[in-house]
Amino acid sequence: MTIKLTDLESGVLGVIRQQQPCSTYAVRRAFARSPTREWSDSAGSIYPAIARLVRLGLIRARARKADARGRRDLCLTKKGEDALRRWITCLDAASSTPDPVRTRLHFLELLETSRERAGFLKRAEVLTRVAIAETRAFLKEERAHAEIDYWASLGGLYQLEARLKWLKRVAAALNLP
Amino acid sequence: MTIKLTDLESGVLGVIRQQQPCSTYAVRRAFARSPTREWSDSAGSIYPAIARLVRLGLIRARARKADARGRRDLCLTKKGEDALRRWITCLDAASSTPDPVRTRLHFLELLETSRERAGFLKRAEVLTRVAIAETRAFLKEERAHAEIDYWASLGGLYQLEARLKWLKRVAAALNLP
DNA sequence: ATCCCCATGTAAATTGTTACATGATTCG
DNA sequence: CGAATCATGTAACAATTTACATGGGGAT
């Protein structure tokens, strides 16, 4: 059975992979820095999450010797890299997070070839277009019967269209077709 | 002490207020309809949430007589309306949801005067502009040191800018300055 | 010396997910 | 009649929030 990661766990893996070797606190700081607050930076969520990932063998933790504070160096294992890669590439419509594309894009470097990266962006684009079509259909019904819900839901459409624009810009910037 | 509502509870109150009297199942259906999945539509979250709200005195549940299925008519109490109004107007930067503005806008009708409604939109606009400024500052640092994180975070900026555009359109549509 | 940030966590309570259980009604 | 949907929930589990506890190290 394949391991199913939560978004927080995936974010943890991703940040560790970017900064390894690093401490739990470094991950926390990285999460806290982000203006969009994609992941929770509370100790009560991160420490248990990392303990889980160590238990699952996705992270290796090595105590620094002669460190009075008991800091540990965290690194991804091979298994951890695989799990992270799987999370990135298994991007689907059922994702519960506000922006599953953006959270994954942070770790795009884990995909080695241009082909894989372009594939990710393409899949993201298709998903977004599907969502746009669905939202448009929904808005059509909605308009007729509930004015305010129409305007509220229109916000979702604007967000999706912005995502599409952003994806194009990212693809161009990264030289991906 | 004032009651602090979760987003799900607020959504429940809002939908009930729009459709009252209605059943729990009607709320569930309303949540399930939305293409943006702003609120969870699982029975395991909604039934307990409504039980909580009844216990807190924000909802009144009345059994329909001679209804074999045991349906209940739910209505907001005065206290429930107040709590919902407070949730809508207490829009702040610390909101954890992806789009605290959009979720609240659904229930804008609860604000009676144009002045209040315009106030809400104005506050939303200010919050968004602040977030945009913060994100721009963040991106400036980010660009220098982590290419991919820069492009990922740029997505957040696009979302915020889309929100601003949407807010303008909503204000115009509702004839609010 | 004292205060604040670094850095580790844990405990209790709450919340949400997944899956199940039950029975009524409608539709083909 | 059988399947899908309506409509109520609950139980077990997993995850998160909030708050606390502990101590090192650096700056004023």
Per-residue pLDDT for B70 more than 80?
no
Q: Give pLDDT, residue B105.
A: 97
Residues of chain A with pLDDT under 50: none
Strand D lies under 7 A from the Cβ of residue B32: no
In chain A, which residue ranges form alpha helices assigned H by DSSP? 7-19, 24-33, 43-55, 78-89, 100-105, 114-145, 147-173
Considering CB atoms only, which of A99, A146, A156 is closest to B155?
Answer: A99
Per-residue pLDDT for B146 more than 80?
yes
Q: Give pLDDT, residue A144.
A: 78
Distance from residue A110 (CA) to nucleotide D14 (C1'), in Å? 28
Q: Give pLDDT, residue A121.
A: 98
The whole-number average pLDDT for the span B165-174 is: 98
Contacts of B172 (CB under 8 A, 6+ apart): none
Q: Give pLDDT, residue A20.
A: 94
User: CB-based contacts with strand C under 7 Å?
Assistant: A 23-26, 28, 43-44, 47-48, 50-51, 69-72, 96; B 6-8, 40, 42-45, 48-49, 52, 68-69
Per-residue pLDDT for B20 more than 90?
yes
Residue A71, min C-alpha distance to chain B (Å)? 25
To the nearest 10 degrees (0 to 180), the angle between helices B147-173 and B114-145 is 170
Report, in ranges, which bases of strand C sit under 7 Å from a protein C-beta: 6-12, 15-21, 23-25
Q: What angle do CA B100, B102, B104 make, to 5 degrees?
A: 70
Structure tokens at A103: 């959270």
The whole-number average pLDDT for the span B80-102 is: 91
Using DSSP, state whether B118 is helix, strand or coil.
Answer: helix
The answer, as to whether pTM is greater than 0.95, is: no
Give Rg (Cα) of chain B. Answer: 19
How many residues are there in chain A? 177
Residue nearest C14 (alpha carbon to C1'): B6
Give Rg (Cα) of chain A. Answer: 19
Q: Give pLDDT, residue B68.
A: 72
Contacts of A55 (CB under 8 A, 6+ apart): none
Structure tokens at A100: 């599953």
In the block, which residue shows the tokens 């504070």? Answer: A69
Residue of higher predicted confidence among A110 and B97: A110
The pLDDT > 90 percentage for chain B reads 82
Q: Give pLDDT, residue A143.
A: 86
d(CA B85, CA B99): 18
The distance of Cα A43 from the centroid of its chain, to the nearest Å, equals: 19
